Amino acid sequence: MASAVRTSSGRCSTPSYAVLPRTVTLPSIYQAALNDLRICAYAGRHCAPYRRSSIRHGVSFTTWRMRSLGTMISCMTPSELVTERLRLRRWGRADRKPFAELNADPKVMEYYPEPLGRAASDAMVDTIEACFEERGFGLWAVEVTEAGDSTSDPPFAGYVGLWPATFEAPFTPAVEVGWRLAHRYWGRGYATEAGRAVLADGFGRLELDEIVSFTAAVNARSRRAMMKLGMTSSAADDFDHPSLPEGHRLRPHVLYRLSHTRGPRFHPVTP
């Protein structure tokens, strides 16, 4: 399924790619953002150099300037991913209430340790937005754009996106694809449709080698979405989630992997 990436033109008037020095490639910026050590190694903690050429009085000048890493990352992060029936976009204030509602729904939260209250739900939105700013990827707010069964259905459906997995496990650090949708939107193929666009962005723009997904072994619905995306699991990758106590029903986890060679192709579409 084709997906479109739209870049926020208002935030950066020049194409970021053009101002980067030859030795720094776009993917290396993102890989580096995943790993602070690597970004420090080439450009210092907060800045990266770029070259600006100008012609004054008929004479060409070339100067080197420092662009903040945060500015560069926000220039390169698309403002939305568009699929046939969905818009994956950054979070707005109006999303907080319906997000808190789905986080409080025991059905949605069946495979999480516990439902979230309003404060924890809002804090999660803040963390997600900070991740977009710092790393150039995150969990997108999913908006349904196709005509719904009911006009009272709010367009905000939940999230699907990429997230850094940093806890202690044999496969970390890694980037995972994850999802959480309001119950009324389940079973329509939205998680897999959005997941496909997110994977294409991860393997295309971010040039990740591998994207993983994991869940409690008993979460059959989520596992099915992973399989539909072409991800595969192996018993050798099964693990116990370290943040859950021994004997907890959700502690045994399964890991699914997808490498860039088998991932969905990136189909840029002119907006």
Ligand X SMILES: CC(C)(COP(=O)(O)OP(=O)(O)OC[C@H]1O[C@@H](n2cnc3c(N)ncnc32)[C@H](O)[C@@H]1OP(=O)(O)O)[C@@H](O)C(=O)NCCC(=O)NCCS
Chain contacts with ligand X (rule: CB under 6 A): 108, 111, 178-181, 186-192, 215, 219-222, 224-225, 228
Closest CA to 50 of 22, 30, 73: 22
CB distance 126 to 138 below 8 Å: no
Considering the complex, state which of residue 137 and residue 256 has its C-beta at the smaller distance from ligand X. Answer: 256
Residue 4 CB, nearest approach to ligand X (Å): 20
Task: Enter the tokens of residue 112.
Answer: 């999480």
Beta carbons of 158 and 182 less than 8 angstroms apart: yes
Residue 14 or 232 having the CB closest to ligand X: 232
Tokens of 9: 């033109």
Q: Which is nearer to ligand X, 50 or 179 (CB)?
A: 179
CB of 1 to ligand X, least distance (A): 12
The answer for 92, left when phi > 0, alpha when psi is -120 to 50, beta otherwise, is beta
Nearest to ligand X of 3, 215 (CB atom):
215
Angle, in degrees to the nearest 10, between helices 26-34 and 118-135: 140
CB of 176 to ligand X, least distance (A): 9
Shortest reach from residue 250's CB to ligand X, in Å = 10
